[in-house]
Amino acid sequence: MSNKKTRERHLAKQAAKRKAVRQRHARQRWTAIVVAAVVVIFAGYMVWSAFLKGEPTTKAASGGGSKTACSTAVPAAAGQKKKTYSHPPANVLKPGKVYKATFETSCGTFVIQFDRKLAPNTVNSMVFLAQQHFYDGLTFHRTVKDFVIQGGDPKGDGTGGPGYQTVDPPPKSATYPVGTIAMAKAQSEPPGTAGSQFFVVTSASANAALAPQGQGPQYAITGHVISGMEVVQKIEAQPRTGGQPDGAPAQKIYIIRMTISSS
């Protein structure tokens, strides 16, 4: 009888121990669940808080910085004196070829496709100058809010050029939609006059000024942007000196290089 009671007490102790272990494991599982829930809730709160404040999350921040800033690096070709020419170049365009120009800039890269039918002399001039590295290291010396970005001046003040001019009067029906590449000229010069300075249209409202009613289109059209229009818009969006809507960018924006391809 004594042995029976001893066994019963032993079995009872063993059962109590197993029960205690199960309870301890259950508490550990619940603790882990609660901790995990708190972490998830806290992480969700931080992400939502960052969203409300307009701050990037850790993942977004690792993607390469601001979407609006442009590089401050100065290209090797910047400041180099450009060769000028006494007359327009001989033809460098091959029959049947479609020509494109890739602009690598401080703000990114955009690509244009030339329209040699609209402005054969001017397109030939731009291709020639690009092949001579004329545009490398020049700046976008003027940007106008909701209008254009302008570059291609070796003097950087709106007065420079390659030493010659071409003339390709635009068709009377021509328009200047967003992404159009056209050539800058003085108001006193005939329609279609061009040197090396070009502009890219950034707003649909620009057409009224570029093709005034009663006068018609004034600027030689050389092509249009086929890739990277967001880079053009980014250049236009950069702050200008004195905060003006029309003027030089407060931070110099370079054409690092302009390269020509054909197909």
Predicted confidence (pLDDT) per residue in 211-237, tens digit: 999 999 999 999 999 999 999 999 999
Dist. CA 134–CA 136, nearest whole Å = 6
Range 99-262 classified under CATH 2.60.320.10: no
258 has a pLDDT exceeding 60: yes
Tell the residue number behind the tokens 């004594």, with chain if given: 2
Cβ neighbours, 10 Å, residue 260: 16
Instruction: Break the chain into its structural domains and give their ranges.
Output: 2-60, 99-262
pTM: 0.74
Handedness of CA 106, 110, 114, 115 (dihedral sign): negative
Predicted confidence (pLDDT) per residue in 24-47, tens digit: 766 777 666 655 654 445 544 443
